[in-house]
Structure 1
Amino acid sequence: MANSSSSVVDMDPDVARRLFEEGATLVLLGVPQGTELGIDCKSWQVGPRFKGVKMIPPGLHFLHYCSVNKPDCGAEVGPKTGLFLTLKPREILLANWDPKEEDLDFSASRNEEEVSRIRENLRDLDPHLGPYPYEVMRKWVSLSDRVTEEVAKNLQPLTGRICAFSDVIPEVQLTHTKDRAEQPRNDTACQSMKEGLDRLPKMKPREGTELRFSVIPQKSYPPGATPAEITRCSMDLSYALETVLEENYGQQPLDLLGEMQFAFACFLIGSVYEGFEHWKRLLALLCRSEEAMRKHKELYLGLIAVLYHQLGEIPPDFFVDIVSQDNFLTSTLQDFFQFASGPGVDGTLRKRAEKFKAHLTKKFHWDFDADLDDCAPVVVDLPEGITVD
């Protein structure tokens, strides 16, 4: 790890002492030099003496890494792999690098004798352990405080690994020559893009590697709904939201915010675009559920807090690019602010939404009270000489 000692130097002595006594330790043996490895919101390039991370605050963390091919000869960085870990005080978690799979193998942690041996020799190992980057702890907690161990376990793939690029296989396994011969031939020119795409084999995620996000109903209305009900449920997505809550979170509706944070972390830190797409779907579902907003006060107060920290971690120009395509963010939040100011909404929630709206207007220069055009966010025109930080 490069410059890893600075975290301890800059840390409050009482905090450093407490983490030294109570913090968990990740012992990661055999990680090749040059590997990009990180925990939570910070990453490094592994040096020749690296053997793990110490002084990790107990709780949920996201370990992520990219294998590097021949770091001394123009390194080629592989796709990022990550996993959520819930660490206990003074816990030692042991993993060995598997060069064949280019992955960390945590099976050694189940060997109590091996873990005990590591614990006894921890003092000798200490110079090879980089301290947890405590300066990012506050940021990490603000992005993950709703993600419980159970939520993370239920959402991450059965393999336990979250990969930036999906591991896919053909939907139809053409193991015999006869099967392959019956497939459409590709030796003639395609007449259209659609024809070319249709000729490609249909792929699906390898079993156990897919993220297990909540399924959002394709139809936002109940079976047998009348035309009037279909119209109402299409304008107010509360039925679809209640379906998601009932099927996935039962008596714990606030855990949906944990799923939203999980998806966002997968995208922001794990480079998983699917996480961003699911985050967008959850945000649209929550923001366009007017009846649910009157019913689930705590859920929506929590949503504002979650969004406040999430939007603070992404440069404003990122959303300009996204919004320029389909105006997603501004139109979705505009619906949210409109519903939050409606009749029957709790007064505390209404005031919190007004403050959040003012914060976003100041930060992004967006006017949520104006009609949005089809292409770009609305920018507030400020008097000459006045700027917004």
Structure 2
Amino acid sequence: MASKEPCEMTQEVAKVLFKKGGTLVVMDMPPGTDFGIDLKSWTTGSNFKGIKMIPPGLHFIHYSAKDEFNESAPRVGFFHIFKEQDFIVKRWDNKETDMTIEEEVIERIKNNHKELDKFLGPYPYDVLNQWKELTSKISDNILERCQPLTGYVRSALELENYDNEMRLKKSNKTQLRRRESGLSVEAKEELLLPNLKPKKGTELRFTEVPERNYPDDATPAEITDFEAFEHWKKLIALICGAEKAISSRRSIYVDFLHTIEIQLSHAPEDILCDIVADNNFVYYHLRKLFATIEINPEIEGRLKSEAARLQVRLTNQFSWDFSNLQQEEFDEAPVVVAIN
């Protein structure tokens, strides 16, 4: 069950973390920078030099500097798996508004650790349980495979323009003209827009979700149901819609329900809605999944009980209605046409 109970920093825990916890030293960070680790962030002051007593394990360090107009820049962050007594040093680069690794000064700063200690803030131990729950499925291999090659995750992806000449090299000119002749005005206008693609090495390397994830005999309406733009939404649609896999992959679906429960406990309901359709896509797909679990006679035991428990939890949290799961939704119900 997802829990928001904070960890209690006892004297014993504090002593252990002081001796064995990791340290992140940040040199020359401008005052007023939004700086954080995991689920907490602060506005830095002039004396801020980093964070101490970081528990071993995976952590996400993130920051957002202020520009000359006092506007916050897009957030940048990086993952790091801290080991016991890990000592990491970063230096702020004003030109790049980014942080770089300073390997050559680590030993010098380590030797000055005691004097530096008063400028280091303690890790926000009260969020540790929540952070562990959110990241419990992220292994070293998954992190290495999915994070950008640069090692930095950016809230605003860096884009580069691939001009028309480069596009023409990758496609046959004759075929391109034939395609354009049958395009609508809107489609032709779209071709005139810059062809922007992520700057190499900055994009997250998620596993590609197949665009075609519907059966051969699917109707246009059924195909539309699977359209999604964000990777997370695609995964939810894919997992909740794989009806044949549920009975044979029960343990995966138990893990999925547990993971989605934790994620939703940190998400405000308004971001779950499709802006265009004003439709809550998570509720829609979970309702389909719960209906499949309910009606499938091969599914019993833990998966069924976990699904029932999560329905109650989400109803209490978001007031989502999971009653009458076998009743067709209004948009999917057959249309009755009167014939005179």
TM over 0.5: yes
Distance, in Å, in 2 between the alignment partners of 1:323 and 1:137 is 36
Task: Name the residue aligned to 1:218.
Answer: 211
Task: Name the residue aligned to 1:289.
Answer: 242
Distance, in Å, in 2 between the alignment partners of 1:98 and 1:13 is 37
Q: Could you tell me how far 1:59 is from its partner in structure 2?
A: 0.5
Q: Could you tell me how far 1:52 is from its partner in structure 2?
A: 0.7
Residue 299 (structure 2) pairs with residue 345 (structure 1): yes
Residue 113 (structure 2) pairs with residue 122 (structure 1): yes
Residue 312 (structure 2) pairs with residue 358 (structure 1): yes
Equivalent residue pairs, number: 302
User: Which residue identity does 2:202 align to in structure 1?
Assistant: T
Q: Could you tell me how far 1:334 is from its partner in structure 2?
A: 1.0
Distance, in Å, in 2 between the alignment partners of 1:233 and 1:295 is 26
Distance, in Å, in 2 between the alignment partners of 1:355 and 1:287 is 17
Q: Which moved more, 1:191-200 or 1:41-50?
A: 191-200
Question: Over aligned residue pairs, what C-alpha RMSD do you find?
Answer: 3.0
Q: Could you tell me how far 1:173 is from its partner in structure 2?
A: 7.2
Residue by residue over 1:60-102, the C-alpha shift from the partner in whole angstroms, topping out at 9 and shown as x without a partner, is 01111111124xxx51111111111111010001111111111
Identity percentage over the alignment?
35
Give the counterpart of 1:18 among 1, 16, 19: 16
Q: Could you tell me how far 1:328 is from its partner in structure 2?
A: 1.5
User: Which residue identity does 2:257 align to in structure 1?
Assistant: I
Higher relative contact order, chain-length normalized (CA < 8 Å, sep 6+) = 2
**C-alpha contact (below 8 Å) 2:253/2:303 kept by paired residues:** yes
Q: Which runs of 5+ in 2 are unaligned?
A: 1-5, 167-183, 333-340
Distance, in Å, in 2 between the alignment partners of 1:372 and 1:20 is 56
Distance, in Å, in 2 between the alignment partners of 1:126 and 1:365 is 47
Q: Could you tell me how far 1:170 is from its partner in structure 2?
A: 1.1
Residue 46 (structure 2) pairs with residue 48 (structure 1): yes
User: Against the structure 1 CA distance between its residues 131 and 86, is the aligned structure 2 distance closer, same or farther, given a 3 Å change threshold?
Assistant: same
Distance, in Å, in 2 between the alignment partners of 1:332 and 1:216 is 17
Residue 80 (structure 2) pairs with residue 79 (structure 1): no
- Secondary structure, counterpart of 1:220 in structure 2: coil
After superposition, where does 1:278-357 map in structure 2 within 5 Å?
Answer: 278-319=231-272, 325-341=278-294, 342-357=296-311
Task: Name the residue aligned to 1:59.
Answer: 57
Residue 96 (structure 2) pairs with residue 98 (structure 1): no
Q: Which runs of 5+ in 1 are unaligned?
A: 1-6, 176-190, 222-228, 241-273, 376-389
- Secondary structure, counterpart of 1:356 in structure 2: helix
**C-alpha contact (below 8 Å) 1:37/1:66 kept by paired residues:** yes
- Secondary structure, counterpart of 2:216 in structure 1: helix
**C-alpha contact (below 8 Å) 1:38/1:44 kept by paired residues:** yes
Residue by residue over 1:6-52, the C-alpha shift from the partner in whole angstroms, topping out at 9 and shown as x without a partner, is x99x7211111111111000011011111111100010111100111
Q: What TM-score does the superposition give when structure 1 sets the normalisation length?
A: 0.71
- Secondary structure, counterpart of 2:299 in structure 1: coil
Task: Name the residue aligned to 1:231.
Answer: 217
Residue 205 (structure 2) pairs with residue 202 (structure 1): no
User: Which residue identity does 2:112 align to in structure 1?
Assistant: N
Q: Could you tell me how far 1:235 is from its partner in structure 2?
A: 11
**C-alpha contact (below 8 Å) 1:326/1:374 kept by paired residues:** no
Distance, in Å, in 1 between the alignment partners of 2:251 and 2:218 is 24
**Where is the helix percentage greater, Structure 1 or Structure 2?**
1
User: Against the structure 1 CA distance between its residues 310 and 233, is the aligned structure 2 distance closer, same or farther, given a 3 Å change threshold?
Assistant: farther
User: Which residue identity does 2:41 align to in structure 1?
Assistant: S
